[in-house]
Amino acid sequence: MASGLALAGQASAATGFGLLPAAFATAISLPAQPGCAGAGPATGQLAARASPFSKASAILGGEPSQLERIMRQQASAASAGLAPAPASPSGPAAGPTGCSGSAQFTFSQPAITRMAPGLALPRPARTVGPDDFLSSRRLPVSHTSFDAQWARVSGAALPGGLVRGLPLGSENGGQLARIKAVNVWANGRIRYAEDRDLYRKADFWADARTTLRRRAGDCEDIAILKMQLLAAAGVPRDAMFLTIARDLARNADHALLVVRDGSTFWLLDNATNTLVDANAAIDYRPIMSFNQQGKWLHGY
């Protein structure tokens, strides 16, 4: 497809490592750029409002992605089985992440709507290697439709003078302390805003300097800012991954930063100040990741 990931060949070649997400298994591009509806701890009643368009459909020329079609079919077939559930812990993100394709959500406490049993996506125990995270295996690919955007934002390092006065954690505290400090600082200082509101575009990855200047961005902008702040604080770039994932609890696309510290991969989410072990986070199904060394699909 014109705007999707050029991954059909790579995806089929990689299936020997495990099952790929449905959108790739059918040689269809993934639902494009995630758009997040909120950032940081917040309160409010669960509400959804239809957006004029989704980022996925905008990138695909107005057509819904294959994943969106599948999900709509599932939702239609099981609409009688869906019912609101009492508030319960929802996984790593307790605040409003709702990275929306066709709707935006504001969450109060960790209130969610549970899927009917027939729609629940099983997450059985999987064997993954020491370099994998989010219960998936990373499968290298050579090209994606986001390469130009990734090259632009990943190469736009923050000047040392710009970050010197920011509370990025002391050198004496160690790398984990710096990771925590950057996550908390970015979540508290950067206001969530959609690309269409900030840049009048359906899909735009802002570099870290732009996000700092505007003090606003969506989930991938905040994750990119965290990556550049941590790089300025001395965290190796090859230990950080910009990951696009599906939030299974909220049925929405999302972007996260995953950072390796020793043998542990930590999940940095714009919806919570708490670092979460990326291999213990069961509410996210990763789709693809980028870092200095390459790009990957996630297989299951």
pLDDT of residue 166: 77
Find, among 232, 203, 233, 230, the residue nearest to 219 by Cα: 203
Backbone phi and psi for residue 228, each to the nearest 5 degrees, phi listed first = -70, -35
Residue 74 has a pLDDT of 55
Q: What is the pLDDT of residue 95?
A: 39
- The secondary structure element, H or E, covering residue 266 is strand 264-268
Tell me which residue range forms the domain holding 135. 1-300
pLDDT band per the 50, 70, 90 thresholds, residue 233: confident
Contacts of 73 (CB under 8 A, 6+ apart): none
Q: What's the whole-model pTM score?
A: 0.64
Q: pLDDT (tens digit, 9 = 90+) per residue, 160-179?
A: 777 777 777 666 678 999 99
**d(C-alpha 114, C-alpha 120), whole Å:** 9
Q: Which position has the higher pLDDT, 212 or 159?
A: 212
Average pLDDT over residues 63-79: 55
Residue 86: partners with Cβ closer than 8 Å, 6 or more residues away:
none
**E-state strands within 51-197:** 103-106, 137-141, 191-192
Which carries the bigger pLDDT value, residue 225 or residue 41? 225
What is the CATH number for 139?
3.10.620.30
Per-residue confidence at 82, pLDDT binned at 50, 70, 90?
very low
Spatial contact of 223 and 255, defined as CB atoms under 8 Å apart: yes
- pLDDT at position 133 is 93
Structural domains of the chain, count: 1
d(CA 205, CA 195): 8
How buried is 278 (Cβ within 10 angstroms: 0-12 exposed, 13-18 middle, 19+ buried)? buried
Contact (Cβ atoms closer than 8 angstroms) between residue 18 and residue 285: no
> What's the CA gap between 67 and 211, in Å, rounded?
30
Q: CA-to-CA distance for 112 and 45, rounded, in angstroms?
A: 11
- Helix 219-232 and helix 174-189: axis angle, to 10°? 140
Query: Which of 112, 88, 96, 90 minimizes the C-alpha distance to 41?
Result: 96
Q: Are 101 and 253 in contact (CB under 8 A)?
A: yes
Residues 261-277 pLDDT 10s: 999 999 999 999 999 99
Helix 147-154 to helix 219-232 angle, to the nearest 10 degrees? 40
**What whole-number percentage of the chain has pLDDT above 90?**
46
pLDDT tens-digit series, residues 20-53: 544 443 333 444 444 564 444 333 333 333 333 4
Q: How many CA atoms lie within 13 A of 68 on its CB side?
A: 22
Helix (H) or strand (E) holding 277, with range, is: strand 276-277
The tens digit of pLDDT for each residue in 184-220 reads 999 999 999 999 999 999 999 999 999 999 999 999 9
The size of the chain, in residues, is: 300
Q: Would you state the pLDDT for residue 36?
A: 60
Q: Please state which of the ranges 36-50, 139-153, 281-295 shows the lowest mean pLDDT.
A: 36-50
pLDDT in tens, 176-194: 999 999 999 999 999 999 9
Give the alpha-carbon dihedral of 84, 121, 194, 50, to 10 degrees: -50
